[in-house]
């Protein structure tokens, strides 16, 4: 593209190449975001309109009081996350966050298994008084109590 | 007294910035403003001193734990090690914004003090632009984030610092990162200055390049240190999470890397003029967007932003003014920037264009991925974007860029022939194929790590091929720097690929005396003891670890509980070998086993070659540093030589022979 081109044309070609690449990147990103972004579910949404098995999503709700159990291997936990309307069983292998307790909010990252159990790969709990996962921010203390009261009846 | 004094210094600095802006603007316009224009450089220097003074005062207040200052009371505690009292000064919003402004003033002061190569009018415009940006951030600091507010009455003790931040990594990583981040403001100001005075020349690129290089080195080190800090402090065993805060640092780095390369083209060949200016604007815009993301509270939630909108809206307005203003200026003036020199597709310039376009595309991908959750949340849909998006989509542009990275430095400027570089290209291709086959043969690893291994080998070989046939003693430092940085990319890439391909992880509930295997390691839980530190208590595991039947070493991971503020952290214990790291974490007590013996949760990773990621990062920065030293030394030498020749001329050619030597 060098010999026959005037500087002005070379600039035009360069701008075009850059534009094509950048627009391509943008389109690719937009397409990938639609497919790869992991959506946030509360238990009632997950019950009404479950995500595909194996698709990475996040599940947020309250850990039901009395539902937390550790398997014989000492590292696999099972518990139920509820929002007052629906309940989703969750299974998780690993070291739980320090403030993960029954009756408190949790966001589980993972995917829904074929048996309807949510297989969590990561748990995010309220970290301290100042920080909590963004999805839990909206659940006020009152809401949380109400939810726990309803689900533990 | 100290707090009031420091606050006064900040106000004075803001006033000087206003003076610097007005003086610079008058100087650029010409006609009568010369008296004020003469004050521009001194104003920038004094401003830097005042900011340094104010920041020093904040350090002093934190060192003394002066609880009558609200910021200290909210973020410090008298029972804290002295080091963390001082580093606590920037472990919070107000303190880190003061650091931001201080770095900005220092870099402005530095260019005012030493940079004399450009036409004075361009320098005035540059310093005026620097002051214009600074004024906005002074206003932000003084009006909505005053670090020196008093608290009456003073509390009995402070609220303490988040224990994750009580760490040597936290002590070093933010100042390094900020120096790079905000150092890019200089590139922004130079770009604006060159546009305003129509001086987009190779000389301008040569002047701007060392400053960008300096900021880029700090940015590289800051990201590397931050990644390592997150790796060992969080106890999650990962080194990059595509967290928005991480992306906020990565985006300016991508833009600065592109800028560095395009400035090289402009300096050497007088091409890519408008593009270089554009990148100068974009690089610092990314720093500002990063600051907005991290400092506005918008990352926690769009709603948190709406609840306390003052700070966020303030930064958003600053963003709109500076980025928007610079882009408008660019749109108006870009047409007057003449086209640069021509070059062929197969040339150094051509390769660097590919590098620039790929880096910009990756930048766009990271930016979109970072902003997407905020965008959807505004419409009531909550999503999170993680590695399944960033890794493959980024790789689509990263891998071709690596191919060009391996080959590009071999090419000549302006025009080259494929036949000339066929030999070295075949060597690179052979290295890539061999690496691909070996990696594929020895293990069934995933596609991305496989390609990563292949490209790491190609880039590693390719990075030193430009040295072939040259007398190594006479290779200039900047060329060594380029080779070193490119080799660093290969090293880091190898570390990333090896870690994601070969890491093994074990999660066990172990009784005391029980042994677990992870990779080539056997790990015995010898004991679990309670221990106490200055402001925490902890469960400490004693692990006896052996690599492949070798000598026994002791590791002591802890689960710590802090009491001010009350919080728990996991302290991972790491063992580094030349070929990787053993990473151990103790969780909590697991339920007793069937026989009623107590068990402890242990999480163990063997991460082959993971350390290469950070060695690579350090190499990249080191390459930058040697290039910077080479450029500065070369410039100083030229200047003194020119000065000496001129002096000889004045003295009447008394020693002409020596002047020539």
Alpha-carbon distance A104 to A152, whole Å?
A: 12
Closest Cα of chain B to A109: distance in Å? Answer: 10
Closest CA to B38 of B19, B14, B17: B19
d(CA B232, CA B228): 6
- Mean pLDDT of the B300-328 span: 79
> How many Å apart are CA B401 and CA B358, to the nearest integer?
6
Query: pLDDT over 90 for what percent of chain B?
Result: 62
Tell me whether residues A95 and B388 touch, CB distance under 8 A: no
Contact: B507, A94; criterion CB under 8 Å: yes
CB-based contact (8 Å) between A54 and chain B? Answer: no
**B384 has a pLDDT exceeding 90:** no
- Which of B177-191, B391-405, B528-542 is predicted least confidently? B528-542
DSSP notation for B244-261: HHHHHHHHHHHHHHHHHH
Q: Is B546 exposed, middle or buried (0-12, 13-18, 19+ CB in 10 A)?
A: middle
pLDDT for B234 equals 79
CB atoms within 10 A of CB B346: 18
pLDDT of residue A8: 75
Instruction: Give the separation between CA A13 and CA A7, rounded to whole angstroms.
Output: 10
Summarize pLDDT for B568-591 with one digit per residue, the tens: 788 899 999 999 999 999 988 887
Spatial separation of the C-alpha atoms in residues B385 and A106, rounded to whole Å = 19
In this predicted structure, what is the pLDDT of residue B7? 96
Render the burial of B456-481: b for 16+ CB within 10 Å, e for the rest.
Answer: bbbbbbbbebbeeeeeeeeeebbbbb
Strands of B580-590's sheet in order across: B504-511, B599-608, B580-590, B573-577
Cα gap A24→A33, rounded to integer Å: 14
State which H helix or E strand residue B615 sits in: helix B612-650
What is the band of A2 on the pLDDT scale with cuts at 50, 70, 90? very low
Spell out which residues of chain A touch residue B344, defining contact as CB-CB under 8 Å: 1-2
SS3 (DSSP) at B559: strand
CA-nearest residue of chain A to B384?
Answer: A38
Q: Do β-strands A76-82 and A57-63 pair in parallel, antiparallel, or remain unpaired?
A: antiparallel
Question: Cα B630 to the chain's mean position, in Å?
Answer: 22
SS3 B599: strand
Residue A66's contacts (CB-CB under 8 Å, 6 or more residues apart) are A102, A152
B385 touches chain A (CB under 8 A): yes
| B226-233 mean pLDDT | 88
Instruction: Give the count of Cβ contacts less than 8 A between chain A and B.
Output: 141
Q: Predicted confidence band at B383 (pLDDT cuts at 50, 70, 90)?
A: confident
- Single out the residue of B226, B224, B233 nearest to residue B572, CA to CA: B233
Find chain B residues with C-beta within 8 A of A74's C-beta.
Answer: 508-509, 590-591, 593, 599, 601
HSE (side-chain half, CA atoms, 13 Å) at B298: 26
Mutation choice for B interface testing from A4, A29, A129 by most B CBs within 10 A = A29
Mutate: best of A12, A33, A35, A49, partner B, most B CBs <10 A = A33
A34 touches B at CB < 8 Å: no
Q: Which CATH number fits domain A40-151: 2.40.50.140, 3.50.50.60, 3.40.220.10, 2.102.10.10?
A: 2.40.50.140
Contact predicate A103/A62, CB 8 Å: yes
A21 touches chain B (CB under 8 A): yes
Nearest residue on chain B to A96, alpha-carbon basis:
B587
Position B305 scores a pLDDT of 57
Answer yes or no: do B593 and A21 touch at CB < 8 A. no
B206 touches A: beta carbon within 8 Å = no
Beta pairing class for A38-41 and A57-63: parallel
Q: How far, in Å, CA of B49 to CA of B43, rounded?
A: 10
Task: Identify the burial level of B250 via C-beta atoms within 10 angstroms of its C-beta, where 0-12 means exposed, 13-18 middle and 19 or more buried.
Answer: buried
Instruction: Give the closest residue to B48 by CA, choosing from B131, B172, B144.
Output: B131
Q: Please, which residues have CB within 8 angstroms of residue B274's CB and are 6 or more apart in sequence? A: B200, B330, B334, B337
Q: Is B353 part of the contact surface with chain A (CB cutoff 8 Å)?
A: yes
Q: What pLDDT sits at residue B101?
A: 95
Mean pLDDT within B350-372: 94
Under the banding of pLDDT at 50, 70 and 90, the label for residue A151 is very low
Burial of B505 (0-12, 13-18, 19+ CB in 10 A): middle
- How far away is chain B from the Cα of A137, in angstroms, using its nearest Cα? 8
Nearest residue, CB atoms, B339 vs list A7, A25, A94 = A7
Nearest chain A residue to B505, by CA: A94
- Which residue's entry shows tokens 């709406």? B306
Three-state helix/strand/coil letters over B355-420: HHHHHHHHHHHHHHHHHHHHHHHHCCCCEECCHHHHHHHHHHHHHHHHHHHHHHHHCCCCCCCHHH
Q: Mean of the pLDDT values across residues B595-623?
A: 93
Phi/psi for B110 (5° steps) reads -65, -45
Asked if residue B159 has pLDDT above 80, the reply is: no
| B345 vs A: CB within 8 A | yes
Measured between CA atoms, how close is A24 to chain B, in angstroms? 8
Better-scored residue on pLDDT, B550 or A147: B550
Rounded Cα distance, B110 and B13, in Å: 15
CA distance B192 to B76: 41
Give B43's contacts (C-beta < 8 A, 6+ positions apart). Answer: B16, B17, B19, B20, B23, B131
| pLDDT, greater one: A42 or A142 | A42
Q: How far is CA B500 from CA B229, B230, B399, B494, in A?
A: 19, 17, 17, 10
Collect all residues of chain A within an 8 Å Cβ-Cβ radius of residue B376.
37
Rounded CA separation B132/B424 (Å): 49
Spatial separation of the C-alpha atoms in residues B628 and B642, rounded to whole Å? 21
Band the pLDDT of B653: cuts 50, 70, 90.
low
Whole-angstrom distance, CA of residue A59 vs CA of residue B274: 48
Pairing of strands A105-112, B573-577: unpaired
Is residue B446 over pLDDT 90? no
B303 close contact with A: CB closer than 8 A: yes
**pLDDT of the residue at A130:** 44
Q: Does B591 reach chain A within 8 Å, measured CB to CB?
A: yes
| DSSP assignment letter at B197 | T
Asked if B520 contacts B606 with a C-beta cutoff of 8 angstroms, the reply is yes
A48-96 per-position pLDDT tens digit: 888 888 888 888 888 888 888 888 888 888 999 988 888 999 999 888 8
Mutate to test the interface with A, among B92, B273, B376, B389 (most CBs of A within 10 A): B389
- Burial pattern B608-641, b for ≥16 Cβ within 10 A else e, equals bbbbbbbbbbbbbbbbbbbbbebbeeeeeeeeee
How many Cβ atoms sit within 10 Å of the Cβ of residue B158? 25
B365 touches A: beta carbon within 8 Å = yes
Q: Which of residues 80-99 of B touch A (CB under 8 A)?
A: none
pLDDT(B455) > 50: yes
As a whole number of angstroms, the distance between CA B165 and CA B170 comes to 6
Q: Is the ipTM of this complex over 0.90?
A: no
Indicate the average pLDDT of chain B.
90
State which H helix or E strand residue A81 sits in: strand A76-82
Q: What is the mean pLDDT of residues B282-310?
A: 77
- pLDDT (average), residues A129-149: 50
Residues from chain A contacting residue B368 (CB–CB below 8 Å): 26, 29-30, 33
Q: In whole angstroms, what is the distance from residue B124 CA to residue B22 CA?
A: 10
- pLDDT tens, residue by residue, B46-59: 999 999 999 999 99
Q: Which of B233, B274, B354, B361 to mutate to test the interface with A (most CBs of A within 10 A)?
A: B361
- Which of A18, A21, A75 lies at the smallest CB-CB distance from B507? A75
Q: How far, CA to CA in Å, does B17 sit from each of B239, B240, B388, B534?
A: 40, 38, 45, 44
How many angstroms separate the CA of residue A10 from the nearest CA in chain B? 7
Q: Do B570 and A95 touch (CB under 8 A)?
A: yes
Mean pLDDT of the B284-303 span:
80
Q: Which two structure tokens, joined as six digits, stand for B122? A: 């361009």
pLDDT, greater one: B354 or A7: B354
Tokens 């397409």 belong to residue: A31
Beta bridge partners of B545: B523, B553
Cβ(A91)–Cβ(A77) under 8 Å?
yes
CB contact under 8 A, A11 and B509: no
Residue B646 has pLDDT above 80, yes or no: yes
How many Å apart are CA A86 and CA B413, to the nearest integer?
A: 66
Buried b (16+ CB within 10 A) or exposed e, B31-64: eebeebbebbbbbbbbbbebbbbbbebbbebbbe
SS3 B414: coil
Q: How far is B424 from chain A (nearest CA, A)?
A: 24
- The CA distance from B518 to B523, in Å, is 8
pLDDT on residue B652 = 64
**Secondary structure of residue B388 in the 3-state scheme:** helix
Are B490 and B464 a contacting pair, CB within 8 Å?
Answer: no
């Amino acid at each position: 593209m060098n010999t026959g081109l005037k500087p002005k044309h070379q600039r035009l070609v360069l701008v075009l190449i850059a534009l094509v690449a950048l627009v391509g990147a943008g389109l690719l990103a937009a397409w990938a975001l639609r497919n790869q972004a992991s959506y946030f579910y509360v238990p009632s949404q997950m019950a009404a309109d479950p995500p595909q098995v194996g698709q990475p999503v996040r599940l947020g709700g309250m850990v039901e009081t009395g539902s937390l159990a550790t398997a014989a291997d000492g590292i696999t936990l099972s518990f139920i996350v509820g929002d007052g309307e629906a309940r989703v069983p969750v299974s998780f292998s690993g070291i739980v966050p320090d403030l993960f307790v029954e009756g408190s909010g949790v966001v589980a990252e993972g995917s829904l298994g074929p048996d309807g159990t949510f297989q969590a790969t990561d748990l995010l709990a309220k970290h301290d008084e100042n920080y909590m996962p963004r999805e839990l921010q909206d659940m006020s203390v009152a809401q949380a109590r109400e939810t726990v009261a309803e689900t533990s009846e | 007294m100290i707090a009031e004094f420091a606050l006064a210094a900040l106000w004075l600095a803001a006033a000087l910035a206003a003076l610097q802006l007005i003086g610079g603007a008058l100087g650029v316009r010409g006609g009568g403003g010369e008296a004020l224009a003469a004050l521009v450089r001194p104003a920038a220097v004094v401003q830097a001193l005042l900011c340094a003074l104010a920041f020093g005062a904040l350090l002093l207040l934190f060192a003394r734990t002066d609880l009558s200052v609200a910021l200290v009371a909210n973020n410090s505690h008298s029972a804290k090690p002295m080091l963390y009292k001082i580093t606590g000064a920037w472990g919070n919003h107000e303190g880190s914004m003061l650091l931001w402004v201080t770095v900005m003033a220092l870099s402005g002061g530095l260019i005012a003090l030493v940079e004399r190569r450009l036409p004075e009018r361009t320098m005035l415009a540059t310093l005026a632009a620097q002051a214009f940006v600074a004024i906005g951030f002074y206003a932000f600091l003084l009006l909505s984030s005053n670090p020196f507010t008093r608290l009456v009455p003073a509390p009995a003790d402070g609220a303490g610092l988040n224990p994750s931040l009580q760490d040597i990594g936290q002590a070093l990583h933010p100042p390094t990162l900020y120096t790079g981040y905000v150092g890019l403001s200089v590139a922004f100001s130079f770009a604006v200055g060159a546009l305003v005075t129509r001086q987009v020349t190779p000389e301008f690129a040569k002047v701007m390049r060392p400053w960008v290089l300096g900021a880029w080195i700090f940015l590289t080190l800051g990201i590397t240190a931050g990644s390592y800090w997150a790796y060992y402090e969080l106890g999650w065993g990962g080194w990059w999470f595509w967290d928005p805060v991480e992306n906020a640092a990565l985006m300016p780095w991508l833009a600065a890397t592109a800028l560095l390369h395009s400035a090289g083209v402009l300096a050497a060949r007088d091409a890519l003029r408008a593009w270089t200016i554009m990148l100068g604007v974009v690089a610092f815009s990314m720093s500002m967007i990063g600051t907005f993301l991290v400092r506005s509270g918008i990352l926690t939630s769009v709603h948190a932003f709406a609840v306390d909108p003052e700070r966020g809206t303030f930064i958003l307005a600053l963003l709109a003014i500076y980025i928007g203003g610079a882009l408008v200026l660019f749109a108006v003036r870009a047409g007057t920037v003449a086209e640069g020199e021509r070059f062929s597709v197969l040339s150094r310039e051509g390769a660097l264009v590919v590098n620039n376009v790929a880096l910009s595309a990756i930048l766009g991908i990271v930016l979109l991925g970072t902003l997407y959750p905020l965008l959807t949340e505004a419409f009531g849909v909550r999503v999170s974007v993680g590695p399944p998006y960033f890794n493959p989509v980024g790789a689509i542009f990263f891998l071709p860029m690596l191919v060009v990275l391996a080959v590009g430095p071999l090419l000549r400027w302006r025009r080259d022939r494929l036949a000339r570089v066929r030999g070295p290209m075949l060597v690179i291709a052979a290295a890539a194929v061999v690496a691909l086959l070996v990696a594929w043969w020895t293990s069934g690893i995933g596609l991305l790590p496989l390609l990563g291994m292949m490209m790491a080998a190609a880039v590693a070989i390719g990075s030193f091929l430009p040295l072939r046939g040259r007398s190594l003693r006479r290779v200039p430092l900047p060329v060594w720097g380029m080779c070193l940085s490119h080799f660093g990319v290969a090293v880091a890439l190898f570390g990333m690929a090896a870690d994601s391909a070969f890491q093994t992880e074990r999660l066990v509930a172990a009784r005391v005396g029980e042994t677990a295997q992870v990779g080539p390691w056997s790990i015995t839980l010898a004991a679990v003891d309670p221990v106490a530190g200055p402001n925490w208590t902890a469960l400490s595991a004693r692990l006896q670890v052996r690599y492949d039947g070798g000598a026994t070493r002791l590791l002591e991971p802890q689960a710590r509980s802090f009491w001010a503020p009350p919080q728990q952290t996991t302290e991972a214990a790491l063992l580094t070998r030349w070929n990787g790291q053993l990473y151990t974490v103790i969780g909590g007590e697991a339920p007793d086993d069937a026989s009623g013996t107590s068990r402890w949760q242990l999480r163990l990773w063997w991460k082959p070659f993971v350390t290469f990621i950070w060695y690579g990062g350090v190499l990249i920065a080191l390459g930058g540093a040697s290039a910077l030293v080479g450029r500065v030394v070369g410039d100083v030498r030229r200047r003194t030589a020119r000065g000496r020749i001129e002096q000889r001329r004045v003295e009447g050619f008394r020693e002409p022979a020596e002047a020539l030597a």
